[in-house]
A and B are shown apart, each in its own frame.
Chain A
Amino acid sequence: MKLTEDQILALAPDEASKKAGRDLAVPAKWVSKGINELALWGECQGSGSKPYQTQVDLSSIAFKCSCPSRKFPCKHGLGLLLLHARQPGTFAVAESPAWVSDWINKRSEKEEKKTEKVEKPVDENAQAKRQQAREQKVAAGVKELLVWIKDIVRNGILTAPEKGVAYWENMSRRMVDSQASGLSAMVKNLGATNFWKEGWQSDFMDRLISLYLVAEGYQNITKLDPVLQEDIRSAVGFTVSQEELKLKQGVQDSWLVLGKDIREEGPLTIEQNWLYGTKANRFALILQFYARGQFPPLAFTPGLVLNAELVYFPSVLPYRAIVKNQPATAIANWTDLHTSAGWEQVAVDEAGSNSRLPFRSEMPIILGGTKLVSYQKQWWLQDKNGCLCKLEADPKQIWKLLAVSGGEALTLALIGRENTYRPIGLWHQNNYTTI
């Protein structure tokens, strides 16, 4: 699978790595290099006496390098891939040397072992007791949270911007103590409302009501539909065993990685990857949590198409999913790309989703025939029927979209809600690129 320069640079952990990777993408820096259908490898003369051995697993884009860098991928991995993208002719097709084939073999063995892993017998009684104790803790926490929410609405939200960080942090910590990590994050998110923005009240109330709906839903969970119960429990912070989930039937498809968002939260790196099943016309969100500075379990490169089986978490609106098997890269085919018919159709779909799960997170959409138009000193996305929704984007993204479109219609991947959307990527000249 050959990645474009943009796709390779999207893998870089930071700007400095991009720059360093570019500097290494010249043949003179590499003592030896080669390629075959499984791997790409090279030896780069660094500051040490021995050249660094850099290798890339081409079947699923994974890296290994003998350099001491803590960054992942390191500049050598990026440089090697960039050099291959720029000058593929300089790489001799050859049998991989021992240091490459050992690693590739170990990777496939590890993958096999993972699938063969036998689960330890579980003490069901102990598990049930732990579960019951947790339910009680969460219930107590939810009760406290509802009192707190009522206090806010009783006193009015006018003074919310004046409340210090501690106000939100305290309740967030209380929810952690109650083992309701989801509610804790929602409280934090409520405190993170941009109070400087005009119209913050609406944004604040959206968050407060979502929090209330989850808390109130949990208090009345037994009265709810069993699948909706799963959504409530998940929002509260109960996890679903991924091993159990993997035993379920998934959706096999060619999944396009539409985009990703990485954020640091305490010692954790949280990665959101938006995927689109090109055959089933479905979206999926893959979340990855890993320690800061560590490698993510799977590498999702925006713009790449992966052949994989995804299993959705149980939900009235299946969206979050996990990858059941090791994904393999695939060739993109955009001839049958399904797009929304226009904003009116998007509104109908959104209404359907909101009616099923009012506190849901934003989901991507793909909209064809979209033009950028300026109206009332604001950029809008106009569909082919003349309907408009606001474009919420960084000025750089707006200029890029305008430049690429030249005023003509584009097919865009967007994410947002109601009448405001931000771009994730676009299809241009039969290629998908992120914005």
Chain B
Amino acid sequence: MGAWEYILNTAMLGTDKRGAAKPDFPGELAEALDIIENAPERDKETRFLNSAAIAFNYRQCGFVPLKKPEINTAAALPETRLYCNERASAVLRNILEENNAALLETWLLQCDQHQQIVTPAVLPELLDKAAQNASLQPAVVNCSGNRGAWLSQFNSAWTYFSQASDEEIWQTGKPEDRVKVLKKLRQTVPGTAREWLQQTWDQENAAARAELLKCLNINAGPEDLPWLETLLAEKGQKARDEVMGLLKKIPGSSIIRQYEELLSQSVTLKKEKALLGMMNKIAIQIKLPAIIDESIFKSGIEKLSGPKSAFSDEQFIIYQVINFVPPSFWERRFEASPQQVVEYFEKYASFMLPALGLAVSHFNERHWAPYFLHHEGFHIDFINMLPQGEGDKYLLRFMRKEGKEIIHYALLSGNEWGLELALTALHIMADHPYEYNGAFFGKHIRLVPVSAISHLEKIDPKSANLEASWGKSKAHLLKLLNLKQQIIQAFNA
């Protein structure tokens, strides 16, 4: 026991109690303590306090640092990318302060595109943000450089930097990580992803099977058919539903062939000569065959249209089936171009046209989309199927009529809105400032172009009562747009 420990022990019990035996103090200290102990004119409390003061100072003056030269931390590897400039760093700090994930993503994208990395001081905060928001992780890893990878080893929350291989994660990872790996693989080598799933299929439980099958929606193709067809006999309902959904997406699947067969029997393009052969009389005849394979109705096709439906039961069945047949079927069936097919439906079976539009979305047949743009029905998937300018025009046409409903769909756009679309949307939003508030703009700022800044001042609600609320939303939007502009300027200076 050292001198200080002895003092602490005595202090704990109090000088009234008999303390532990005095240890052997070092020479110079023992001498001083002896003088104090042998001073009868002092009471025991004073003697203790005097001793404690000596031991306290002895401890303070005698501190010796621990010597451990063998402890070493390997330094981070030198960077291969340049650090972003001071301006970009300042903007990043402001974005982190604003806590806006959308702007942070935009910043990281710019940084990565310019082959740059963040300055070291901001790394901990950035790594924390990505730990909370997994969608930022790939960009953060790219923009953190070797310093970020080095730093991540010290904090268990930053393990997303770990270089575990996809195969390792697939074999031993957590269910959500396995799903991520399968999705990633499906984007680049869909066949390999399917093979991995086939290999582990027997070991997967029912819930995992359904979740993993969902990944096959990415780049689903005819190569998947042989295996998927065998899964139609799956015991689990959820997995079976997923298989059915997938088969309805892949042209050539048994179910689609069955649908095509039914449509071949039910929908006929009739061309007849009229007016002494001077004119062609064309009609689309729709009639279900007398006997329909009942298995069609087990694939999700409803038999009855319902009492309030404008369709007859027969029409309703055909409408549903058209949804799940590739539009190219009609090119063969009617021996006509896509444009002609759309025109035939428009003229002779207009009530079936929305179903054909849905089939275009369903099978992602982009070249069909332009023939639907002037029609009344709005197809949400067309927004991202059309070239950007065309997509904006399509949205604008409906937004001017239907306002908020279409804004809801415009938010799903993968690209930044054009200025005209943005201004139209903002004019509508100005009349609903409680819905389109600061938080809303914070979430969707990627869609609003920076060029809207100079127009914002003139955008006001129709009702004066809403001016104050819209003013707040507008101020926040302006702040976010300024930050967005600063990102662009900082990386393109």
Contacts and interface: CB of A to CB of B under 8 A. Distances in A.
Interface in A337-393: 343-344, 346-347, 350-351, 354-355, 358, 371-375, 380, 382-383, 385-389
B72 interface: yes
The 5 closest A-B pairs by CB, nearest first: A386-B69, A156-B14, A407-B75, A399-B124, A343-B65
Interface in A16-32: 18-19, 22-23, 26, 28
Interface of B: 4, 7-8, 11-17, 43, 45-46, 48-49, 52-53, 56-57, 59-76, 87, 90, 93-94, 97, 120-124, 147, 150-151, 154-155, 479, 482
B14 A153 contact: yes
Given A406-B76, A408-B75, A358 B60 contact: yes
Nearest to A417: B60
A373 B150 contact: no
A201 B4 CA distance: 11
A371 B57 contact: no
A400 B123 CA distance: 8
B155 A154 contact: no
A23 B482 CA distance: 10
B56 A358 contact: yes
A131 interface: no
Given A157-B11, A374-B154, A386-B69, A419 B63 contact: yes
A202 interface: yes
A264 interface: no
A350 B73 contact: no
B63 A418 contact: yes
23 contacts: A150-B43, A153-B11, A153-B15, A154-B14, A154-B45, A155-B16, A156-B14, A158-B12, A205-B11, A209-B49, A209-B56, A216-B49, A343-B65, A350-B61, A355-B61, A374-B73, A385-B69, A388-B71, A396-B124, A400-B124, A407-B74, A407-B150, A408-B75
A205 B52 contact: yes
Contacts of B61: 350-351, 354-355
A403 interface: yes
Contact of B90 (A86, A153, A216, A346): A86
Given A153-B49, A157-B11, A212-B49, A404 B121 contact: yes
Contacts of A346: 65
Contacts of B93: 5
Secondary structure of the A contact surface, majority rule: helix
Contact of B123 (A154, A347, A403): A403
Nearest to A352: B61
A251 interface: no
A317 interface: no
A406 B74 CA distance: 9
Contact of A419 (B66, B73, B121): B66
Given A154-B16, A202-B8, A350-B61, 18 more contacts: A86-B87, A156-B16, A209-B56, A212-B52, A216-B49, A343-B65, A347-B63, A350-B60, A354-B60, A355-B57, A373-B68, A382-B68, A386-B68, A386-B71, A402-B124, A403-B121, A418-B59, A419-B63
B65 A389 contact: yes
Contacts of B59: 418
B97 A22 contact: yes
Interface in A388-435: 388-389, 396, 399-400, 402-404, 406-408, 417-419, 428, 433
A58 B70 CA distance: 50
Given A213-B53, A403-B123, A22 B94 contact: yes
B200 to A, nearest CB: 38
A206 interface: yes
B450 to A, nearest CB: 13
A383 to B, nearest CB: 8
Interface in A132-182: 149-150, 153-158
B73 A407 contact: yes
Nearest to B90: A5
B50 to A, nearest CB: 8
A139 to B, nearest CB: 17
Contacts of A383: 65
Q: Which of A206, A374, A402, A428 has the most CB of B within 10 A?
A: A402
Interface of A: 5, 18-19, 22-23, 26, 28, 86, 149-150, 153-158, 201-202, 205-206, 209, 212-213, 216, 343-344, 346-347, 350-351, 354-355, 358, 371-375, 380, 382-383, 385-389, 396, 399-400, 402-404, 406-408, 417-419, 428, 433
Contacts of B56: 205-206, 209, 358
A156 B123 contact: no
Q: Which of B4, B16, B120, B121 has the most CB of A within 10 A?
A: B121
Nearest to A344: B65
Given A399-B155, A417-B60, A201 B12 contact: yes
A19 B71 contact: no
B11 to A, nearest CB: 5
Q: Which of B45, B53, B73, B120 has the most CB of A within 10 A?
A: B73
B7 A205 contact: yes
Given A5-B90, A371-B73, A406-B76, A150 B120 contact: no
Nearest to B93: A5
B262 to A, nearest CB: 63
Contacts of A382: 68, 71
B482 A373 contact: no
A398 B155 CA distance: 11
B52 to A, nearest CB: 5
Given A205-B8, A358-B53, A387 B67 contact: yes
Contacts of A406: 75-76, 120, 147, 150-151
A389 B64 CA distance: 9
Nearest to B77: A406
B80 to A, nearest CB: 14
A154 B66 contact: no
B73 A399 contact: no
A83 B120 CA distance: 24
Given A212-B53, A417-B60, A403 B73 contact: no
A408 B147 CA distance: 11
Contacts of A26: 482
Nearest to A355: B61
B131 to A, nearest CB: 12
B90 A351 contact: no
A255 to B, nearest CB: 25
Contacts of A19: 97
Nearest to A428: B121
A256 to B, nearest CB: 19
Contacts of A205: 7-8, 11, 52, 56
A294 to B, nearest CB: 27
Nearest to A407: B75
A344 B66 CA distance: 10
Nearest to A418: B63
Contact of A402 (B43, B74, B151): B151
B237 to A, nearest CB: 48
Nearest to A209: B56
Nearest to B155: A399
A210 to B, nearest CB: 8
A106 B2 CA distance: 63
Contacts of B49: 149-150, 153, 209, 212, 216
A150 B15 CA distance: 9
A402 B56 CA distance: 34
Contacts of B155: 399
Contacts of A355: 57, 61
A22 B93 CA distance: 10
A358 B16 CA distance: 27
B459 to A, nearest CB: 16
A347 B15 contact: no
Nearest to B52: A209
B307 to A, nearest CB: 58
A387 B151 contact: no
Nearest to B69: A386
A403 B57 contact: no
B484 to A, nearest CB: 12
